[in-house]
Chain A
Amino acid sequence: MLYLHSFEIMKILVPISNVPDTTSKISFTDNDTRFNGQGITWIVNPYDEWYALVRALELKESGKADKVTIIHVGLSDSEPTIRKGLALGADDAVRINAESSDSLYVAYQIADYAKNNSYELILTGKESIQYNGSAVGSMIAALLDYPFLSQASFLDLNGTTLTLHVETEGGIKVVEGQAPAVVSCAKGMAEQRIPNMRGIMAARTKPLQTLDPKPFRQNVKVRNFGLNPGRSECKLFTEDQLDKLVEALHKEAKVI
């Protein structure tokens, strides 16, 4: 039996978050209610860039997807980060002009855009490296009533059929199914890419649309931030004092 391809367009939506570079010095301002962005280099959240976005681009390059769109919920100061994503090869980008500490608010904006613009495959990162929530992807899926595939390390696409490896306790699950779906992407999905000059030039003129957020309640607010105290002085032992180290691990640290 011969199946006729439905000629539907496979568009991939990649939500990216804008995060401080890992090596940034962290401090807070406004009575410890805001992250101090002074002197900080902002980057595309590594999981979103290396895994979700690069995999989406690979699928497009191999003819398995037609279009890759970046979406970000944030204020205008994150536009340079969005352009970095465009420089890697995404076709266009959307910024929802809002700031929020409530993941459900962020997810609602993305889900709403995906629904109104018929995106049936959404690739997020597994978590954003600043607030470590691992939340937005699962929420987008729930709001759209799409299946959520959490922490995928492999994704292939054949028409609208997805094959995935997802992380599970002490192993991986091989999962297969039909789009629509939301996938959160983890290590293994793709390799990091460096944008080339042509990409960087082209990114300047690619469409970056700004939209106002849809009204939605926000129930999560930051009360305050703080730095965790570093570890106290490291206690050093020589290789002839390892009995003492074992004793300390038992009596002091109480870990053995």
Chain B
Amino acid sequence: MSVLVLLDLKNGQLKKSSMELATLGRNISEKTGLPLTGAFFSETGPEANIFSGTGITKITRIIGLDSLKSPDFLLLHALNEFIQKNGVKIVLFSFDNLGKSLAPGLAAKMDAAFASGISQVEEISGNTWVVKKNIFSGKAFARYELQGEKIVISLIPNSIEPITVNSTAELSEFQPSPKVCGFQIKEIKKLSEGNMVPLPEAERVVSGGRGLKGPENWYLVEELAKELNATTACSRPVADMHWRPHHEHVGQTGITIRPNLYIAIGISGAIQHLAGVNGSKTIVVINNDKEAPFFKSADYGVVGDAFTVVPKFIDAIRKWKAQHQ
């Protein structure tokens, strides 16, 4: 019997969201008295030392598969087989693309109680867990009671502070039995340009709306983003008018993001836009209309013309950086 954390790698490194999960896992392991273990998919590598500091000492590489390049159907099958063979009772996922695809299915296969996208495990007493999760795009929350010996949850990224401890990991391997899958991945197309962090994981996002007047003015958004090491986004009409690519569109019908910092430039703050960005920790709004609804949902605001405010903002950041380096 154990607690299992599904770890994920990117460019051979452990993702920040995996460190967040490990932090939650240690807490759950303490409360349940069950040992903490980890697993990840990888065809080759990495060395055990990238798992140092997670507090997880026993980690299994599920071989022959890759979290990005293998069909999810095969990943699910392999993970389920591993769990059955090792008597895993509790599985923790991150609520990202992989977690959204695999966690509910695994819960169904294990017949476990399941909650997705939680922000906190509030209580564990015997087989009853209480978890908290945001609902209605962050306008409200729900506390769910999960009942059962087996529990699967997925944690929303950026909701707990990842803490490293002093630990080293021992790696073992698991070879899943073969399974036929009717689907093949033909190609993986990269959408985000350059080295920008993909939107769902970005910690800082700079976003532009119709107030920027046209695609030729996006240098403002891009320069500010570059200065803050942020990813760029946009409102829906901006994507609809092809000023920006569709994968940058955030909101109810686009991508939902929860960065630490969201800067909205020339965006009015319509409810459908807010639905996708409300979970951001800090929101800064730059708009020349002081009545723009977005100011009601922001932490900081600048009432002014984006064409003068943004360059000054960039200067202020550069000045600040120079002083703090």
Interface residues of A (CB under 8 A from B): 22-23, 26, 28, 46, 50, 101-104, 107, 129-139, 141-143, 147-151, 162, 167-179, 181, 187-188, 219-228, 230-232, 234-240, 242-243, 245-250, 253, 255-256
Contacts and interface: CB of A to CB of B under 8 A. Distances in A.
How extensive is the interface on chain B, given as a class?
Answer: 35 or more
Contacts of B73: 147-148
Contacts of A46: 252-253
Contacts of A177: 71, 181-184
A104 B107 contact: yes
Given A175-B184, A228-B134, A138 B253 contact: no
27 contacts: A23-B271, A28-B140, A103-B104, A133-B117, A134-B100, A134-B117, A135-B103, A135-B114, A138-B108, A139-B105, A143-B108, A147-B72, A149-B183, A151-B100, A168-B188, A171-B188, A173-B185, A173-B189, A219-B113, A227-B139, A228-B138, A228-B140, A228-B141, A234-B296, A239-B305, A246-B316, A250-B324
B304 interface: yes
Interface string B57-87: 0000000000010011100100000000000
Interface in B128-151: 130, 133-148
B117 to A, nearest CB: 6
Given A169-B201, A187-B253, A239-B308, A175 B282 contact: no
Interface stretch (B34-42, B190-198, B207-215): B190-198
Interface in B290-313: 295-305, 308-309, 312-313
Nearest to B188: A173
A6 B96 CA distance: 39
B252 A22 contact: yes
Interface in B253-279: 253-254, 256, 260-261, 271-272, 275
